[in-house]
Amino acid sequence: MHFKCFYYIYILEKQKPHWEIGVKMTDRNNSILLPGSMFESKGGWISDPQFMEVMKSSELLAHGLGKPVQDACTSFHVKSAADYHVWVRTKNWTSWWTDRPGPGKFILLFDGQAVETVFGSGSPEWHWQSGGIVHLKDGYHRLTVHDLDGFDARFDAVLLTTAEGHPGDIEILRKSLLDLPPKPEFKGRYDFVVVGGGVAGMCAAISAARLGNKVAIVQDRKVFGGNNSSEVRVGLGGRLNIGKFPSLGYLLNEFGPARKGNARPADIYEDDKKYEAIKAEDNITMFIGYRVTSVEKDGERLISSVIATNVDDYREIRIEGSLFADCTGDATLGVLAGASWAMGREARSVYGEPSAPESADGITLGASIQWYSETREAPVAFPDIDWGLPIDEQTVQNARRGQWYWEVGMRDDMISEAEKIRDYGMYVAYSNWSYLKNHSRFRDEVANEEFAWLSYYAGKRESRRLFGAHVLTENDLRNFVEYPDGCVSTSWYIDDHEPDPDNAARFKDPWLSRGRLTPLDYYPIPYRCLYNRDIDNMFMAGRDISVSHLALGTVRVMRTCAMEGEVIGMAADVCCSNSCLPGDIYPGHFDELKALMTKGAGDPGKPYLQTYTLIDTTAERSENC
């Protein structure tokens, strides 16, 4: 049992706790809601908000790579002794793909006494699983959640209630049972509010702040960097300091990692350097661990504020602004504001692109759940699982690293099925590794290899794209159609992915991909792709800018995304100086933006640390890129 839980019980006996939520009774007499993200000690469980848009909560995940994680525990107060129904919101994550009971199982203990139910069973969708009845006396109690297998058990809340019937909607329960303020807390008014703290959002915020604007940046994860953070571990691709405005890019050089590579040890991605870069800017207020969940508008076409929800305690804040930037990757801000969007491959007839399919098919670039093993001095075991994919001698991958081409979900919906896609990525990694270690002809070779890291974060390449005043297409790129508002230069080929044909022939849901590369010159992306055509005060930077599916294949690499951010930060400054909107800059104030782009927002005097990963023009699938 975890020491921290005893400590909290002791403290709670001394003070009146905010946890005495059992007294907040509404129509559900004697109901106590215990969200996992608010547990006093999470032990080895990870609190993860990445699927909040769909499942409405942060989940606690027991990501132990096959070794049970340390218990999570919390104390709570019961006002009057009674028999309480126990409910846990959970899912059986592997039951999409196997009829076996599968992993992801856990139990609950009240004051050290286990209830009989094993949780994590039933539907693969989020549901309330009943845990029977427990008698609780009045006073303080301790709840422990004990992981049984280390294979990604999950829950988002435990409900104890004397009411009969199904618990219902988690958001309604939170509103009625947690001590949440009735209104979002006002956190100020800003010139420029950036939503999303990947490299695009970071550059947007710093660029505007250095020009004297008051900036807020809202980031749902606890680290900056998006796919380039230690959570996802994608190396920066593309080139900086090229094209018409070669000073663009010094900014990312200031905080971009000095080393390269995908799926490497955490320190390569230098999370701290990114955090310090934002912290060093006096004009930036950061809201870390807050996810933008709704917007307020002034009429149809202007955002007036964003509402962000704390990903641990669900308290809301309100941030007002004059200008906003959607740097969420998933176009979440734009979608919340009612902007139109596209997802998946367009039909050839839409933009006349020669490489587009005849009909729209919804296929996107996939998500990768990267992983690696490490060599130990002695043999290391891995569970011989009976719930995995049917891997055999023909399909087993003798791999030590799950690189970019371990790619899933291309045929699925990258938003509504995001968790299933992430789970499938983990499922294939476990399935292959288990077969490789325990049965394959390579098992002696990998005897000393330990499965050391598997991302629990779905590294996405594509989901929703927003529309700007111009939509960049394959034709613009291949015919080098140069527009007068060209700004950030691309430096990557059109790097489209498709399921690996062999893998797709053997598995219903393919999990390996291959690249299809179309060579390109460095191309200046029009400024008009970086602001929204439906929402007048909203910019975009990153993978949700105004491009076709095919054009995304070049603009999506992170050094290009970062320079887009740098430019929209400057454009926000031009808007503030002239009291105008993003759509007024071209052509009216474009010379002012040009002057800023010529200078750049970064410091050219800083050591130049970027190690370029040039595109591999053969699209070779190598563990070492």
Ligand X SMILES: Cc1cc2nc3c(=O)[nH]c(=O)nc-3n(C[C@H](O)[C@H](O)[C@H](O)COP(=O)(O)OP(=O)(O)OC[C@H]3O[C@@H](n4cnc5c(N)ncnc54)[C@H](O)[C@@H]3O)c2cc1C
Residues in touch with ligand X (CB under 6 A):
195-200, 218-221, 226-227, 234-238, 262, 291-292, 327-330, 332, 368, 370, 404, 459-461, 542-543, 556-558, 561, 613
- Length of the chain equals 625
Min CB(305)–ligand X separation in Å: 14
Phi, psi of 572 (to 5 degrees): -60, -40
| Nearest CB to ligand X, comparing residues 160 and 215 | 215
Q: Closest approach of Cβ 395 to ligand X, in Å? A: 21
Minimum CB distance to ligand X, residue 236 (Å)? 5
d(CA 85, CA 564): 53
Distance, CA of 333 to CA of 284 (rounded, Å): 19
**Cβ-contact 264, 272 below 8 angstroms:** no
Burial 496-531 (b: 16+ CB within 10 A, else e): bbbbbeebbebbebbbbbbbebbebeebbbbbbbbb
Which CB atom, from 8 or from 371, has the smaller least distance to ligand X?
A: 371
Nearest distance from C-beta of residue 558 to ligand X, angstroms: 3
DSSP E strands, 290-444: 290-298, 302-310, 316-326, 341-342, 367-368, 371-375, 401-402, 407-408
Q: Which is nearer to ligand X, 22 or 238 (CB)?
A: 238
Helix, strand, or coil here: 268? helix
Q: How far is the CB of 555 from ligand X (least distance, A)?
A: 8
Question: Which is nearer to ligand X, 82 or 288 (by Cβ)?
Answer: 288
Cβ-based nearer residue to ligand X, 134 or 195: 195
Bridge partners of residue 146, in order along the sequence: 107
Residue nearer to ligand X on the CB measure, 153 or 557: 557
CB nearer to ligand X: pick between 19 and 493: 493
The separation between the first and the last C-alpha atoms of the chain, rounded to the nearest angstrom, is 43
Q: How far is the CB of 59 from ligand X (least distance, A)?
A: 15
Rounded to a whole number of angstroms, the minimum distance from the CB of residue 54 to ligand X is 12
Cβ neighbours of residue 314 under 8 Å, at least 6 residues apart? 35, 174, 178, 180
Place of tokens 């111009």: 470
- We find the least distance from the C-beta atom of residue 491 to ligand X, in angstroms, to be 10
* Cβ-based neighbour number of residue 359 at 10 Å: 10
Q: Give CA–CA dist 506/196, Å, rounded.
A: 38
In the bound state with ligand X, the residue whose beta carbon lies nearer, of 238 and 383, is 238
Q: Is the CB of residue 356 less than 8 Å from the CB of residue 547?
A: no
Query: In angstroms, rounded to a whole number, what is the distance separating the alpha carbons of residues 281 and 278?
Result: 6
Instruction: For ligand X, give the closer residue by CB, 120 or 366.
Output: 366
Smallest gap from residue 262 Cβ to ligand X (A): 6
